[in-house]
Copies of this chain bind each other. A is one copy, B any other.
Amino acid sequence: MSEYKTFNADDAIAFADEHSELFGEHSKLSAEELADGDLNLVFRVENDKGTSVIVKQALPYARFVGESWPLTTDRARLEAEVLKMHRRFCPEHTVEVRYFDPVACAILMEDLDDYRILRAELNDGKKFNHLAPQMASYMANTLFYTSDFVLSSENKKAEVARFLNPELCLISEDLFFTDPYCNHERNTIEPSILEKAKTLWHDDALKAEVAALKASFLSKPQALLHGDLHSGSVFINSDNCKVIDAEFGFFGPIGFDVGTLLGNLLLNYLASPGLHDAEDSASQQAYLLEQAEQLWLQFSETFTELMNRETQDPALENNLYQQRFLQQVFSDAAGYAGCELIRRTVGLAHVADLDSISDAALRTQCQRNALKLGRELIMQRSELNNINQLLNLVRYQQAD
C-alpha cells in the first residue's frame, strides 16, 4: 500500500491475511466492524476455524460529542510502539501488537474476544480479585523499566523524543487541566450541577494546584506512560487483565497513570449507589476500596523491589531517595485521580458509571460527590501519607 486510505471490511481482511501467519485463505475470512470511539476503525477478522485478529486503523480526524477536528494518524505508530515497549516489560497484561503498517496507520493485534471492557463489568457489579494485583504489576513494570532508574540518560532522552506525541498530549492537557476550570464550550455539564461546576471556575486555591499538576504533566518525563489508563482501556476476564489503547502514551509523570486508574475505581465507587440496590452497592463499594488499596500497595511493593534490585544509575540507588520518590508518585497519583474525577463529571468526556445512573436526583448527588472528592484529593495530595488516609477521604467525604 503506497498511500493512506480508509479501510473497508475487505481491506481489513486483506491486511489481516497478508500480515497474520495464521491465515492464508482470503476467501475463508470474514470481517466485522466493532464499535469504538470516533477516532479509529476497528475490525475483527476471523477465519472459518474461529481464529480471529483485530485490525485497528487510525482515522485522520477525531470526533467527540459531535465536534470533529483533524488529528495525526501518527498516533497509530505511537500506540503500536508504546504497546510493544510495555509488552516487553509486562507481556502478561499488555495486548500483543503483531504488525504495524505506517502507511495505512493500521495495527494488527491479538483479539481479546474472551475479555470484556473493565468499565462495563464494574458497572454490572462484577468483582475480580486479580484486577488490582495484575494492574499494579502492569504499572510497576512498564513504568519502572522506562524510567531514569533503568534507562541511561542518553537512551532516555532519545526515547522521550521518539514518544513526544504533542497532538494527543494537547487533548489531555486541555481536557484534564484547563477546560473543567473555566467556562469552556467543550464542557458537558448537567444543569443540576452547573452551580457547583461554576465554583470550580473561581476556585483559585484549587486552580493553583491543578496548574502544578498540569506543569508536571508538561515537564516531568519520568517514564513512558500509557497516558489514558481509564477502565475503558482495560480488558478483563475471569483470569486476566490486558491493557489496550495506548495512543496517548508519552513520557510523563508516573503518578498520572496510577492516578487515572485509581480515579476510575473511585468514579465507579461514587456511582455505585446509583447503579445498584443498597446491598449490592455496599458490597461493590467494599470491593472497590479493597482493590484501590491493593492497587497502590502492590504497585508500591513491586516498584520498591525493582528500585532495590534493578536500578542502573548508582546515584539513584539511595534508599531514602527511592522512598521519597515513591511518596511523591503517590501524591501525584492522588492529584491526578482528583483531576480525573472532576473532568469526567463536568468536562467533555464523561463516563458511563455516572452518566448511566437513571435516577436524576441520585445522579446529581453522585456527580456532586465526584466534584467534592476530586477537589479534596487535589488539595490534600501532599498531606496524604498513605493509601489508607486517601481511602478515608473517600469513605468519609460527604457532598455539601
Q: Spell out A's residues near B (CB within 8 Å).
A: 148, 153-154, 156-158, 160-161, 164, 166-167, 169-170, 173, 177-178, 181-182, 204-205, 207-212, 214-215, 218-222, 313-316, 318-321, 324-325
Chain B residues lying within 8 Å of A314, measured Cβ to Cβ, are 178, 182
Contact assessment for A181 and B221 in the assembled complex, using a CB-CB cutoff below 8 Å: no
Interface of A is mostly: helix
CA gap between A177 and B315 in the complex, in Å: 7
Give min CB distance, A212 to chain B, whole Å.
6
Contact assessment for A220 and B220 in the assembled complex, using a CB-CB cutoff below 8 Å: yes
Q: 21 interchain pairs (CB within 8 A)?
A: A148-B215, A148-B218, A154-B170, A157-B164, A158-B164, A160-B164, A173-B315, A178-B315, A181-B315, A204-B319, A207-B315, A207-B318, A208-B321, A211-B318, A211-B321, A212-B321, A212-B324, A212-B325, A214-B315, A219-B221, A220-B220
Chain B residues lying within 8 Å of A324, measured Cβ to Cβ, are 208, 212
Q: How many copies does the complex hold?
A: 2
By CB atoms of chain B within 10 A, which of A204, A221, A315 has the most? A315
Give min CB distance, A182 to chain B, whole Å.
7
Contact assessment for B182 and A153 in the assembled complex, using a CB-CB cutoff below 8 Å: no
Chain B residues lying within 8 Å of A313, measured Cβ to Cβ, are 178, 214
CA gap between A392 and B6 in the complex, in Å: 68
Contact assessment for B178 and A153 in the assembled complex, using a CB-CB cutoff below 8 Å: no
